[in-house]
Amino acid sequence: MTKRKFTGLFIFLVFAATFIACNKDNGNTNPAYQIKADFDGSEKVFSVLTSAAESTPDNLFNLTLFGIGATESISLHLWSDKDDFVAGKTFTITGPAGKENAMAYGLNGASDSTQSYYSHFKYGTVAEQLDCTITERTPTYIKGTFSGKLYKNQTGIPQKIEVTNGSFFVPFD
């Protein structure tokens, strides 16, 4: 009886290990995939899950990059009137057709938008800034650099974060 239990347990463990190993091969678990930047001088790395996706809403082209960390997330949203998300292209805060390129940052799962930071401030005039340059693009991934200013969207004196030394290396889904 003990031999049967051991054999059953062994088969279960082999099956479980195989299942877990196969699941790790799916998705973007490559440890090199990440978005990172200095937030007011302190480096933050977003590498739990990273992704890039393209869409074509309103006869425009959109590229969205996101990175999820253990407790926080970041995203970059870029617009173009051409499909020109190519190496060497730099995007600033002003996009085509009234669209604005944007960066957002906040706690994972936060349902209150006043707890997040955005490159656009809706409660007054501030020095909005976003610079994002694509440095490499293949059919499977995209790399680049970025910097800018993020503001907490709430009334009162704007709370600002300076984002510098930003870089991304993310896969296309």
Average pLDDT over residues 124-153: 94
Domain ranges of the chain: 1-28, 31-171
3-state secondary structure of 109: coil
Query: Strand (E) positions, 47-140?
Result: 49-55, 61-68, 72-80, 90-91, 102-107, 117-118, 130-137
Distance of alpha carbon 94 from alpha carbon 78, whole angstroms: 10
Which DSSP letter does residue 97 get?
T
pLDDT averaged over every residue in the chain? 83
What is the CA 153 to chain-centroid distance, rounded? 20
Query: Which range among 22-31, 35-44, 60-69, 119-128 shows the weakest confidence by mean pLDDT?
Result: 22-31
> In the predicted model, what is the mean pLDDT of residues 155-161?
86
pLDDT for 8: 31
CA distance 64 to 68: 13
pLDDT at 117: 92
Q: Supply the pLDDT for residue 153.
A: 82
pLDDT value at 89 more than 90 = yes
Residue 85 has pLDDT above 90, yes or no: yes
Phi, psi at residue 169, to the nearest 5°? -145, 100
Mean pLDDT for 68-97 is: 95
Mean per-residue pLDDT for 138-159? 92
Percent of the chain clearing pLDDT 90 (strictly above) = 65
3-state secondary structure of 140: coil
Q: The whole model's pTM is what?
A: 0.80
Tell me: pLDDT of 164 over 60: yes
Average pLDDT for residues 12-38, to the nearest whole number?
54
Q: For residue 148, what are its two tokens?
A: 């800018």
